[in-house]
């Protein structure tokens, strides 16, 4: 079946080429009767008009894209700096569309307007310092503005004030093929030291449990953030490069084995509020319609239907990291401060988990060992 389709497509392309060349051939009728494979007036004319049509195509395609696909673009930013990023993006985009519209028009319009004619002579116009100065200086001014705005925002995002640090919560994002874990620094706002050489059993992050700062660290597999509070992320990776990409928060930083990288932001919209955002509701509806449609096909083929989609913030891996790179994600939940506190309070500290898992000390009585070993087995099974 496939080979038949491929064959049909090839035949159709062949016919299309034949027809198209014939059109170009037909335009030669009545032209100069040379056949030198060099463009003559007819060719110039046909291709000149096509050039003009092409700028039309660019415009129509752009307008169609804006109409059909604008709603695909990430909506309301969910972080404080996200608004600045989106503002700068909007300014840059406006500039780009402006320049694109004008230069593409000039380029293709000139290609049409000045299409060659036998006997016409072109203008000998080799240089003009004034013109060249104009189109050097205008970009300089525009870019100076963009650079300054950009760098101002960049510095605000990347450098955390000492004051903010006092108030922030510190979370480690830990990447490995192909999943994420997060470690909360706890009340001391300091993450315990860690190294992959210490990875053992439940201590999957290689935390140095002898470090006093590590005692209140908590490790989880679902990221919860309190709304309105600065979060400082410290990224680590245990194997290859990963990238912690949180598109809704306009946040991204690579996770590099052997070093700790950092990114911080303040979430501004809780998950619950975002689910009530109009654009998000429309998006979710649209996606669910697609999923229902897809499910029908899957069910007809004997599979199980897709789960309906509800909106959640996500952490994605955005640096090629191996075969399952495409499915390395963690859910992010932005809570109200109270909910966040309650959620975190319930989580055991890593030190506690370790103690539970390794409770039987080797030099204990036989009975105790017997009792505790079941506990260990239970932990392992868990």
Q: Smallest gap, in angstroms, from Cβ of residue 258 to other proteins?
A: 3
Is residue 207 within 8 A of residue 194, CB to CB? The reply is yes
Most distant CA atoms of the chain, gap in Å? 109
Site for other proteins in 307-326 (CB under 8 A): 307, 309, 314, 316-326
| Tokens read off for 185 | 């620094």
**In the complex with other proteins, which residue's Cβ is closer, 153 or 358?**
153
Distance CA 29, CA 40 (A): 12
Q: Does 31 bind other proteins (CB under 8 A)?
A: no
Q: Which residue has the tokens 């004319």?
A: 45
Is residue 266 within 8 A of residue 233, CB to CB? The reply is no
Q: Does 245 bind other proteins (CB under 8 A)?
A: yes
**In the complex with other proteins, which residue's Cβ is closer, 60 or 368?**
60
Is residue 194 within 8 A of residue 185, CB to CB? The reply is no
Q: Which position among 29, 30, 33, 36 is part of the footprint of other proteins (CB under 8 A)?
A: 36
Residues that bind other proteins (rule: CB under 8 A) add up to a total of 133
Site for other proteins in 173-202 (CB under 8 A): 176-177, 195-197, 199
Site for other proteins in 106-165 (CB under 8 A): 106-108, 110-111, 114-117, 120-129, 131-132, 135-136, 139-140, 143, 146-147, 150-151, 153-155, 157-159
Query: Per-residue x/- marks for other proteins, 273-312, CB under 8 A?
Result: ----------x--xx--xx--x-----------xx-x---
Is residue 322 within 8 A of residue 338, CB to CB? The reply is no
Q: Smallest gap, in angstroms, from Cβ of residue 217 to other proteins?
A: 18
Query: Per-residue x/- marks for other proteins, 48-67, CB under 8 A?
Result: x-xx--x--xx--xx--x--
**In the complex with other proteins, which residue's Cβ is closer, 38 or 363?**
38
DSSP collapsed to 3 states, 229-288: CCEEEEEEECCCCEEEEEHHHCEEEEECCCCCEEEEECECCCHHHHHCCHHHHHHHHHHH
Question: Which run of H or E residues covers position 34?
Answer: none
**In the complex with other proteins, which residue's Cβ is closer, 291 or 375?**
291
Is residue 226 within 8 A of residue 170, CB to CB? The reply is no
**In the complex with other proteins, which residue's Cβ is closer, 275 or 291?**
291
**In the complex with other proteins, which residue's Cβ is closer, 204 or 336?**
204
Q: Smallest gap, in angstroms, from Cβ of residue 369 to other proteins?
A: 26
**In the complex with other proteins, which residue's Cβ is closer, 201 or 337?**
201
Query: Per-residue x/- marks for other proteins, 340-369, CB under 8 A?
Result: ------------------------------
Q: Smallest gap, in angstroms, from Cβ of residue 346 to other proteins?
A: 28
**In the complex with other proteins, which residue's Cβ is closer, 10 or 378?**
10
Q: Does 35 bind other proteins (CB under 8 A)?
A: yes
Q: Which position among 69, 278, 345, 346 is part of the footprint of other proteins (CB under 8 A)?
A: 69
Q: Smallest gap, in angstroms, from Cβ of residue 229 to other proteins?
A: 20
**In the complex with other proteins, which residue's Cβ is closer, 186 or 267?**
267
Instruction: Please give the span between the terminal C-alpha atoms of the chain, in angstroms, as a whole number.
Output: 49
Distance CA 344, CA 9 (A): 59
Q: Does 92 bind other proteins (CB under 8 A)?
A: yes
Among the listed residues 258, 259, 249, 263, the one whose alpha carbon sits nearest the alpha carbon of residue 316: 249
Q: Which position among 203, 238, 264, 266 is part of the footprint of other proteins (CB under 8 A)?
A: 238
Among the listed residues 252, 213, 259, 246, the one whose alpha carbon sits nearest the alpha carbon of residue 351: 213
1-27 in b/e burial notation, b at 16+ Cβ within 10 A?
eeeeeeeeeeeeeeeeeeeeeeeeeeb
Q: Does 228 bind other proteins (CB under 8 A)?
A: no
Distance CA 287, CA 300 (A): 20
Write the CA distances from 91 to 95, 98, 132, 145, 334, integer angstroms.
Answer: 6, 11, 26, 11, 29
Collapse the DSSP code of 320 into the 3-class scheme (helix H, G, I; strand E, B; otherwise coil) and give the result.
coil
Q: What is the Cα Rg of the chain in Å?
A: 31
Q: Smallest gap, in angstroms, from Cβ of residue 318 to other proteins?
A: 4
């Amino acid at each position: 079946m496939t080979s038949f389709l491929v064959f049909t497509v090839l035949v159709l392309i062949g016919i299309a080429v034949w027809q198209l060349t014939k059109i170009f051939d037909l335009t030669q009728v009545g032209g100069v009767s040379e056949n030198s494979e060099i463009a003559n007036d007819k060719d110039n004319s046909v291709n000149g008009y096509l050039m003009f049509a092409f700028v039309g195509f660019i415009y129509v395609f752009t307008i169609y894209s804006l109409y059909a696909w604008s709603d695909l673009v990430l909506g309301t930013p969910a972080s404080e700096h996200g608004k600045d990023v989106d503002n700068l993006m909007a300014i840059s985009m406006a500039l780009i569309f402006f320049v694109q519209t004008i230069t593409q028009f000039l380029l293709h319009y000139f290609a049409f307007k000045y299409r060659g004619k036998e006997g016409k002579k072109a203008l000998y116009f080799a240089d003009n310092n004034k013109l060249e100065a104009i189109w050097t200086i205008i970009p300089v001014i525009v870019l100076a503005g963009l650079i300054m705005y950009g760098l101002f925002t960049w510095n605000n995002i990347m450098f955390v004030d000492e004051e903010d640090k006092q108030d922030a919560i510190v979370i480690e994002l830990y990447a490995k093929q192909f999943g994420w874990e997060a470690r909360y620094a706890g009340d001391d706002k300091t993450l315990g030291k860690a190294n992959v050489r210490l990875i053992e059993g439940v201590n999957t992050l290689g935390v140095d449990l002898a470090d006093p700062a590590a005692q209140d660290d908590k490790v989880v597999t679902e990221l919860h953030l309190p709304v309105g509070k600065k979060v400082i992320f410290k990224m680590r990776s245990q194997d290859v490069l990963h990238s912690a990409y949180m598109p809704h928060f306009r946040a991204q930083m690579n996770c590099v084995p052997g070093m700790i990288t950092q990114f911080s932001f303040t979430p501004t919209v809780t998950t619950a509020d975002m689910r009530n955002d109009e654009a998000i509701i429309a998006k979710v509806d649209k996606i669910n319609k697609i999923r229902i449609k897809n499910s029908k096909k899957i069910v007809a083929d004997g599979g199980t239907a897709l789960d309906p989609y509800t909106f959640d913030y996500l952490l994605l891996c955005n640096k090629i990291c191996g075969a399952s790179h495409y499915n390395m994600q963690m859910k992010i939940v932005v809570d109200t401060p109270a909910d966040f506190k309650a959620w975190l309070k319930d989580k055991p500290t890593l030190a506690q988990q370790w103690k539970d898992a390794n409770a039987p000390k080797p030099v204990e009585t036989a009975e105790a060992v017997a009792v505790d070993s079941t506990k260990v087995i239970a932990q392992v099974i868990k």
